[in-house]
Amino acid sequence: RNFPPGPKWLPVLGCAYEVKKLRDKNGYFYKCIKELTKLYSSDGHLLGLKIGKDRIVLVNSLEANKEMLYNEDIDGRPKGIFYQTRTWGERKGVLVTDGELWKEQRRFLLKHLKDFGFGRKGMAQISSNEGNFMVRDVYNAIGDRGSVELYMHNFFNTYILNTLWSMMAGLRYEPNDPQMIHLQRLLYDLFAAIDMVGCAFSHFPILSVVSPSLSGYKNFVATHERIWKFLRDEIARHKKRFDPNKEDNDFMDAYIRALNKHGEVNTYSEGQLVAMCMDMFMAGTETTSKSMSFGFSYLVRDQEVQRKAQEEIDRVVGKERLPNLDDRPNMPYNEAIVHECVRHFMGRTLGVPHRALADTTLIGYKIPRDTMVVSNYTNILMDDTLYPEPYSFKPERFLKNGKISLPDHYFPFGLAKHRCLGDVLAKCNIFIFTTTILQKFSVLQAPGQPLPCLDHVDGATPSAAPFKALIVPRN
């Protein structure tokens, strides 16, 4: 009683059939949520669903989202086959865990990542170095031809991964590294096949046994097995060359030192290290590169935005040196582009699911313990009363009197205890990579190709539809 309004629940299925029907009709999960909210919720704040075994509440309004994110009774993360299969049946990592393990490990992760530059000058330097490699690679691709056509929806992936991986594992990869191309392809397909609230086998776990291929379970496990192997191999290499008398080179070293010193005590274990690396690999790269995929699809479509960004870059940085993070305070237009990229990405998806740790209430509705509670960012970041013409790319919406001004309703990285821990890196990378590319090149519609399409690829993390752009040196 007093559960948030939504479609009727049938035995076993819940309202899975109605959700599937509307999803197929609309093409996108967010459109399906919008239609269901309109049909069933008179105040629009919340939508209550039951899909198979999962009781799910989608949090639509700004008011309800703020209340939810600050409610400590909703600070859990979901349990179940989907979340635990990621980490070989156990609850590990920092992305979808809660309680003492999450608290202790999140603290350790942040403390030690800082030793390797995270959130500090070193991080900006790492990002600038990757910007340098990126420019080198584009010039190489152009050769003596004067211009080159490149796929832009995934162009930044490896450079973004490198900024994080150099702090996590002391490594960087070349964009044509076959293992990296393969891993990124696996991740892209995986994220397109699932939603933030799960997938067929998580709502109906029996499907993982009776129909492992069709339900996506087999693919889910196979992708994770490859990622585990990639990470375990790297951890093994780190362990082999670990020297207790030498300074740690990266986060893996710091964790191995802690394990060597104290053993697998409390929440510390080698499995936890693998899980944390996987979480960072997934949460840290897909999100930023897909934000940039949206940004560049709009920059190709709207040359006036590109022109204004380049005018500011030329005025503040000039042409001799590459942009760096110290330039950001003097480049509000380009900083506003960063926020607009992130808005377009998060505005097409849901937050990382929370779970009610106890019976509680939200906007006066009852939320029973173990309900999955998920922020509907589309509703906030694409609300035309908060962001007029929400599907246009308008950096100006984050500027006031020529300075950055972020409204209270802009929180694409979440709020409170589970707030994203990588926002500083994400914003640093988007700023450095966008300004570095636009300083050196113009990014134009490729001849014979349509303008980048605004329909995106749906999934747990949405992506701009694949598109090519023509890259022309500005000098």
Footprint of ligand HEM on this chain (CB under 6 A)? 69, 94-95, 106, 164, 279-280, 283-284, 287-288, 291, 342, 345-346, 351-352, 412-414, 418-422, 425-426
Q: Which is nearer to ligand HEM, 49 or 420 (CB)?
A: 420
The helix/strand/coil state of 95 is coil
Q: What are phi and psi of 470, to 5 degrees?
A: -95, 125
- Find, among 159, 153, 232, 222, the residue nearest to 187 by Cα: 222
Give alpha helix (H) positions in 169-269: 178-193, 200-203, 207-210, 217-241, 251-262
**C-beta of residue 127 within 8 angstroms of C-beta of residue 156:** no
- Smallest gap, in angstroms, from Cβ of residue 418 to ligand HEM? 4
Phi-psi region of 151 (alpha: psi -120 to 50; beta: other; left: phi over 0): beta
- The whole-angstrom separation of Cα 87 and Cα 109 is 18
Q: Which amino acid is residue 73, in one-letter code?
A: D
Q: What is the SS3 assignment for 365?
A: strand
Which residue, 269 or 349, has its beta carbon nearer to ligand HEM? 349
Residue from 377, 400, 373, 402 nearest 390 by CA: 377
* Binding-site entries for heme: 420
Give residues with Cβ within 8 angstroms of 315, minimum separation 6: none
Give Cα separations from 375 to 87, 131, 139, 340, 346 (angstroms).
24, 33, 42, 19, 11
**68, 70, 76, 81 alpha-carbon torsion, rounded to 10°:** 40
Structure tokens at 214: 């069709």
Nearer to ligand HEM, 288 or 310 (CB): 288
Instruction: Output the smallest distance, CB 351 to ligand HEM, in A.
Output: 5
CA atoms within 13 A on the CB side of 305: 25
Backbone conformation region of residue 198, classed left if phi is above 0, alpha if psi is from -120 to 50, else beta: left
Of 46 and 421, the one with the shorter C-beta distance to ligand HEM is: 421
Q: How long, in residues, is the chain? A: 475
Query: Please, which residue, 305 or 420, has the CB nearer to ligand HEM?
Result: 420
| Closer residue to ligand HEM in complex, CB, 196/317 | 196
Cβ atoms 156, 473 nearer than 8 A: no
- Smallest separation (angstroms) from ligand HEM to the CB of 104: 12
**Residue 46: phi, psi to the nearest 5?**
-130, 155
- By the 8 A CB rule, do 26 and 35 touch? yes
Q: Which residue has the tokens 């070193």?
A: 122
- We find the least distance from the C-beta atom of residue 203 to ligand HEM, in angstroms, to be 20
Nearer to ligand HEM, 50 or 343 (CB): 343
Q: What single-letter amino acid sits at 227?
A: I
Q: Report which of 227, 224, 201 is spatially closest to residue 212, judged by C-alpha positions.
A: 201
Dump the DSSP string for 425-439.
Answer: HHHHHHHHHHHHHHH
- Give the C-alpha separation, 156 to 323, whole Å: 17
What value does the CA radius of gyration of the chain take, rounded to a whole number of Å? Answer: 22
Q: Residue ranges for the binding site?
A: 420
**Residue (16 or 74) nearer to ligand HEM, CB:** 74
Q: Which residue is nearest to ligand HEM (CB)?
A: 422
The structure tokens listed for 325 are 């993070």
User: Please, which residue, 217 or 251, has the CB nearer to ligand HEM?
Assistant: 251
- For the CA atoms of 176, 120, 76, 408, the dihedral, rounded to the nearest 10 degrees, stands at -110
